[in-house]
Amino acid sequence: MARQARERGWDVDQVPGRHLHQLVDPDTVTRHILAMTAGWSRPAD
């Protein structure tokens, strides 16, 4: 699935862990999401 997302030009990041890892280690998952999206900008209205 990550390969297909990359092929479509989507940003992809992987966090070591298992399914629903955001419940086990929410701080790490949050850091990864914030780091990955830091450069994103909002579309103009």
Which tens digits make up the pLDDT trace of 1-45? 889 999 999 999 888 888 899 999 999 999 999 999 998 888 887
Kind plus residue range of the DSSP H or E element containing 30: helix 26-37
* Residue 16 counted as domain residue: yes
- pLDDT at residue 9 in the model: 93
Residue 36 is predicted with a pLDDT of 92
Q: Is residue 22 part of a domain?
A: yes
Domain count, the chain: 1
DSSP character at residue 12: -
The per-residue pLDDT for 41 is 84
Question: Rounded to whole angstroms, how far apart are CA atoms 29 and 21?
Answer: 8
- The pLDDT score that the predictor gives to residue 4 is 96
pTM exceeds cut of 0.85: no
- Gap between the Cα atoms of 24 and 28, Å rounded: 9
- Asked whether residue 17 is assigned to any structural domain, the reply reads yes
Is 26 domain-assigned? yes
In a domain, 42, yes or no: no
